[in-house]
A and B are shown apart, each in its own frame.
Chain A
Amino acid sequence: MDNFRTKQPPVKPVSAITGVPVENRVLKNGISLFMIDAGSEDVARIEFVFKAGMARETIPLLAGTTNMMLAEGTLNYTAEELNSTLDFYGIFQNLSADRDSASLNMLFLNRHIEKAMELAGEILFRPVFPEKELSLMMKKRLAGYRISREKVQNIASDSFFESVFGSNHPYGRPVKEKDFEAITPALVRDFHSEYYTPRNMAAIISGKIHEDTPHLFEKHFGSFSDSKLPAGNSLNIINVSDAGKIHIEKPEAVQTAIRIGSATINKRHPDYPGLKILNTILGGYFGSRLMKNIREDKGYTYGIHSSVTSLDQSGYKVISTETGKQYCTSAINEIYREISILQKEPVKNDELEVVRNYMSGEMVRMFDGPFAIADSFKAVWEFGLDFSYFNRMMETVKTIGPEEIMRLANLYYNIDDLHEITAG
């Protein structure tokens, strides 16, 4: 019975539609505006992006604190008023700062777009950084920091970045408890006036775009001016340290966190799409070799992943997992074994076919809906690239061969160059 069940229904090749139009305008004061009109509901999201990430900071925590303090009081609103007004209009606001950029995200129903813009203007260009709020913010962040330092994942990750990028560069510099006392309103104010400027900013709006949207941007943001000259390049320099093994002992932990990886190329390099595919095969999806071997065959871990990340001044690849302490050595040996197999044996066609199709499906998801498209746009725009990056990626996914994958594995996964961190 049920004969039709024995064979998989025919699978068709899929391709992502990457030719989505992104309309670009420049406001009078130099703000770049990008508009992505898509989606069925009358909602929109604006992401305001500044090159104001950790890479610009002179002392630890400065970029993140400046970003989080933006909504803690402005010229016309106290922190409490600002937050209740945002909540009253059902505007979801999110501030974040990463290694290279810092941003404000706002999600709202389109009928509140003017209110969202007015409040965004306050948050981005009129913050007052009150001392009382800053001191509370630092107390809260310190409490959060202490909790995060109890987690072996964070201990291992922090040590990994320090090992890879060196303790002098913001990409690798570790945060210490005393750093929470060093942040003052004056430092935050200076960082803000240097990096949160119209010329250092882009606004990406996605969702249902109405005809008057560009006009509204000009109305609400067009009159802000740069208070200082555009920010120059930071003087921070990466000192890549030698690969090595570091273990951080945490006696009461019941698991060990493992991080293995190194600095690598970023999106601007022609090998990058191929490296992404290699990474997927190794540990980038549920059917990856590391998952199949270390979770599904051996049961050493709940999950194991490898990733490749682009940074403005560098990039890195890392394999991460948490395993029971008794499995740690075996898991590490299996990780190196899987890397060396990729260096020596060509990937078989069946497996490559699965990876090609899985990654094609992922690319469809990256262009599904206005917010996903906006995220994909930001991910290339930050590197001075455009959607043709995704066309190159799609092309590489469809055409890359086993020999090229082996070449990349040998070039980028030299085992002697990898940093190996364990915490637990």
Chain B
Amino acid sequence: MIEFRKFILNNGLRVIVHEDRSTPLVAMNILYDAGSKDEDPDLTGLAHLLEHLMYGGSANIPEYDTPLQLAGGDNNAFTNNDITNYYLTIPSENIETAFWLESDRMLDPDFTQKKTEIQKNVVIEEFRQRYLNQPYGDVMLILRSLAYTIHPYRWPTIGMDISHIEKITNENVRQFFNRNYAPQKAILSITGNIDAAWAFNLADKWFGSIPGRHVNARILPREPEQEKPREITVRRNVPSDALYKAWHIGPRTADDFYTLDLLTDLLAGGESGRLYNRLVRNLNLFSEINAYITSDFDPGLAVISGKIMKGVDIETAENELIKVVDELKDGAVSDTEMEKVRNRYETSTVLSNTNILHKAMNLCIYELLGNADMINTDVARYRKVTKQMVSESAIRYFRPANCSTLYYLSDKPAE
């Protein structure tokens, strides 16, 4: 049970504090309800570029990192389709530096043309390093644009194309900040070795005076239901063929989210998942196989991906994969298997609770989803999933008409 207190400042900023005295550190997490889904389709990659630029200094601070390092702190951030999240840990005696830094860049970050141009370069190198210069690196770029036709999940957070990043201006950055980084669109959590009342005082002192900004309500196009199978074949200079299949599912807050999470764990969790046992261990069709749900806030995807063993025909591999999934529809799952995936979930939850940074992040995410207390109640929702619910969800979502398939083939000449 994670005990926490919550407080809303006058400007709308939500503050959550959880004390954990077993550590000398404090973790601070700031989540902004803004991600790549809030971008203009012609200017993708902007939310993530802005995350980089938030380190370039703010109204009263020339640069973010040095003062934090001077206080013994360590930080990072990530952007995804839904949110932008900044996090740090710092020895508790120096926590006020974290409040000073984070509140100043929420108040008024200092975007300049020069810094924007340099960070555009850094992000373009990141694009090359992680997506273009890696075998299979462009898979999500292709799969997203196949599975989604109008919803902004059709592009990845890094951006649809390098040309989008190249044309972003300093003015675009400023505008995106003003629209999305208001206090009422943010959630601040503080966990670890700190007195809750003291934390609220500091939050009020540093964040309370940031004026609320007007923000427009988010209106996103709803992805229409997929009515027939989609597929695409690409050929790349990679050593083995790979198969990617994605089915549309509901949003993170849907009742069956928990069922689907356990369902993909039944398929590919640990070394004893059904897909691994059948397709890797017994039939030797794949060299690796994975299944997961995207955990997107808006309707997301269930994805199964695998690398095909050399000499195996991709169609044969796909047919056997579908058989394994179809068995779930027929109620093939045993009580022991259900108990197994629930137990695995329990261990990972307890482990996650040993870490103040995980707790800080989860509190913010759950609060954005509706209620920070879900950090405590989620375990029970996983416990309630039954075999029947698994087969119902498999029937409902894992239909050919709801599926997008990417055949990623090797055109590497034999050596």
Chain A residues proximal to chain B, CB less than 8 Å: 2, 4-6, 8-12, 14, 17, 38-43, 71, 79-80, 83-84, 86-92, 107-109, 136, 139-140, 143-144, 146-147, 149-152, 252-255, 285-287, 295-302, 322-324, 353-355, 357-358, 360-362, 364-365, 368-371
Contacts and interface: CB of A to CB of B under 8 A. Distances in A.
B353 A41 contact: yes
Chain A: interface secondary structure? Answer: mixed
B94 A143 contact: no
Given A90-B348, A139-B287, 6 more contacts: A5-B103, A14-B72, A14-B93, A87-B271, A354-B66, A361-B90
B240 A11 contact: no
Residue of B65, B96, B353 with highest tally of chain A CB at under 10 A:
B65
Chain B: interface secondary structure? Answer: helix
Contacts of A12: 93-94
A255 B129 contact: yes
A364 B91 contact: yes
Given A86-B272, A90-B343, A143 B310 contact: yes
Contacts of A136: 280-281, 284
B336 interface: yes
A151 B309 contact: no
Contacts of A5: 59-60, 100, 103-104, 107
B242 to A, nearest CB: 10
Residue of B72, B126, B209 with highest tally of chain A CB at under 10 A:
B72
Interface string B110-134: 0000000111111111101110111
Contacts of B23: 368-369
Contacts of A89: 343
Contacts of B66: 287, 354
A114 to B, nearest CB: 15
A322 B131 CA distance: 13
B355 A140 contact: no
Contacts of A324: 124-125, 128
Interface string B14-30: 00000010111100000
B94 A11 contact: yes
Contacts of B351: 41, 43, 92, 107
Given A41-B353, A90-B343, A255-B129, A295 B22 contact: no
B97 A8 contact: yes
B339 A88 contact: yes
Contact of B72 (A38, A43, A298, A361): A361
Interface of B: 20, 22-25, 59-61, 65-67, 69-74, 89-91, 93-94, 96-97, 99-100, 103-104, 107, 117-126, 128-130, 132-136, 205, 209, 237-240, 269-272, 277, 280-281, 284, 287-288, 307, 309-310, 336, 339-340, 343-348, 350-351, 353-355
A302 B122 contact: yes
Contacts of A146: 239-240
A39 B125 contact: no
Contacts of A42: 350
A130 to B, nearest CB: 12
Nearest to A4: B205
Contacts of B59: 2, 5
A319 B160 CA distance: 31
A59 to B, nearest CB: 22
Contacts of A80: 272, 277, 281
A139 B240 CA distance: 12
A87 B209 contact: no
A362 B24 CA distance: 12
B65 A287 contact: yes
A287 B69 contact: yes
A358 B135 contact: no
B125 A301 contact: yes
A419 B236 CA distance: 33
